[in-house]
């Protein structure tokens, strides 16, 4: 089997405009959650908080002609992909262009464009739209833009499985590399979901927190949405070593499952199945895992269900694991969540620091693991897994380990 390594990593989110600043904020326990600036006070009923990207001007990244074609979700994907490709040093010249894939996860796609169109149509009663509206809002736009900017002519597509989209994208890219269809992939997730329409829809589900996100904690009240992108360069170990690339870590296994149950309620059996499959795919035993970057949304049902699933998979070793959720820092970025959270898993392996679960008030009887409360922890991490569980009962887990 072809071994797969990560040689580049990029990000933009509420914690920073690149991967190093995002990881630094995680280790320092800084939160990007705060009041939403571009929505008028009173338009939201549930406190109006999110993890927005601050100090962001697309003109600093794109010329006017390119900006006309981009919804923010594509802007974020390009910014993160450009960073990952620069760090990797990979070239797409010659045959490499056709031997590279682009796979990007997103939950809602061009929601900013769509929301603006509907406000113009139904609020302002004006029917004329920007002529590039469709190419901005279409869900595949981010993958198409990355492929065009970098001249990548291999497979390029989007995976849309709600909050599991990024991890499903990693799995699809890994399978293509292992099968020999491609030798490398630019892969990750992106989301720009902080719009009035999206937030009002989430409010209607009654799962948004009115104050902050506190996963696995007593007194948790719900999730907080975030935005941004995380992108990575995956390639074969052989190619990375041949060109002397700096290997960040090895992507060793992926696992996917479907609950085939409730459209919204999580299932410990489905979540456990995905974790077990990721371990089996990576040739790992439960005792090999040191750290779990949890899905950890901060809702009562999700956190208790994920805790039971971890017990089901890891047995007695669950008491030795450290588990944390970085969502109190970068928010729940839906289709980009897994891509942002993988920064925490890769960073833990490379720097020996496990990011904390912020805002932890105390134990909940239904959540009885070591959640690294409130402060990062220095410890050696050789193997980590990252969990993503989505509405629709769709589960995807990624396992990474120290670079060979």
Helix, strand, coil abundance in the chain, percent, nearest 5 = 40, 20, 40
Checking DSSP bridges between strand 100-105 and strand 291-293, what pairing results, if any?
A: unpaired
**What are the catalytic residues?**
163, 295, 332
How far apart, in Å, are the Cα atoms of 25 and each of 21, 104, 143, 343, 372?
6, 24, 28, 11, 16
d(CA 318, CA 311): 6
SS3 letters across 216-267: CECCCCCECEECEEEEEEEEEHHHHHHCCCCCCEEEEEEEEEECCCCCCCCC
Structural element, H or E, at residue 353 = strand 353-354
244-247 — which CB contacts under 8 Å span 24+ positions? Answer: 245/7, 245/88, 245/89, 245/90, 246/7, 246/87, 246/89, 247/5, 247/6, 247/7, 247/403, 247/404
62-84: string of b/e by CB count within 10 Å (b at 16+)?
beeebeeebbbbbbbbbbbbbbb
> Which is it for the CA torsion 71, 72, 73, 78, positive or negative?
positive
Q: How far apart are the first and last CA of the chain?
A: 15
Residue 203's φ and ψ, nearest 5 degrees, are -60, -40
Q: CA torsion angle for 196, 201, 207, 212 (degrees, to 10)? A: 0
**Residues written for the chain:** 404
């Amino acid at each position: 089997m072809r071994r797969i390594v990560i040689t580049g990593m990029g990000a933009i989110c509420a914690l920073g405009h690149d991967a190093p600043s995002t990881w630094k904020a995680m280790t320092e326990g800084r939160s990007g959650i705060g009041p939403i600036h571009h929505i008028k006070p009173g338009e939201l009923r549930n406190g109006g908080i999110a993890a927005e990207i601050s100090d962001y001007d697309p003109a600093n990244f794109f010329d006017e002609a390119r900006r006309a074609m981009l919804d923010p979700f594509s802007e974020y994907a390009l910014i993160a992909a450009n960073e990952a490709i620069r760090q990797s040093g990979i070239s797409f010249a010659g045959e490499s262009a056709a031997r590279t894939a682009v796979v990007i996860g997103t939950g809602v796609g061009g929601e900013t464009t769509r929301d603006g169109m509907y406000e113009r149509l139904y609020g302002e009663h004006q029917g004329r739209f920007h002529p590039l509206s469709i190419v901005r809002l279409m869900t595949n736009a981010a993958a198409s833009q990355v492929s065009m900017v970098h001249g990548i002519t291999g497979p390029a597509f989007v995976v849309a499985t709600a909050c599991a989209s990024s991890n499903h994208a990693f799995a699809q890219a890994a399978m293509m590399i292992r099968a020999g269809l491609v030798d490398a992939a630019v892969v990750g997730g992106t989301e720009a979901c902080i719009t009035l329409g999206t937030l009002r829809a989430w409010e209607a589900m009654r799962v948004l927190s009115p104050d902050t996100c506190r996963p696995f904690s007593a007194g948790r009240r719900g999730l907080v949405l975030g935005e941004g992108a995380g992108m990575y360069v995956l390639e074969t170990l052989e190619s990375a070593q041949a060109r002397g690339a700096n290997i960040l870590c090895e992507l060793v296994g992926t696992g996917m499952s479907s609950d085939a149950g409730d459209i919204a309620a999580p299932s410990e059996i489905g979540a456990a199945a995905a974790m077990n499959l990721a371990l089996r795919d990576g040739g790992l035993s439960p005792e090999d895992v040191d750290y779990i970057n949890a899905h950890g949304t901060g809702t009562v049902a999700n956190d208790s269900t994920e805790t039971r699933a971890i017990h089901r998979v890891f047995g007695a070793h669950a008491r030795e694991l450290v588990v944390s959720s970085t969502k109190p820092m970068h928010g729940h970025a839906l289709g980009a969540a897994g891509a942002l959270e993988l920064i925490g898993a890769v960073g833990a392996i490379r720097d020996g620091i496990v990011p904390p679960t912020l805002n932890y008030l105390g134990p909940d009887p239904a959540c009885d693991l070591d959640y690294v409360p409130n402060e990062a922890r220095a410890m050696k991490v050789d193997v980590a897994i990252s969990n993503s569980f989505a509405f629709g009962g769709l589960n995807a887990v990624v396992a990474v380990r120290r670079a060979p």
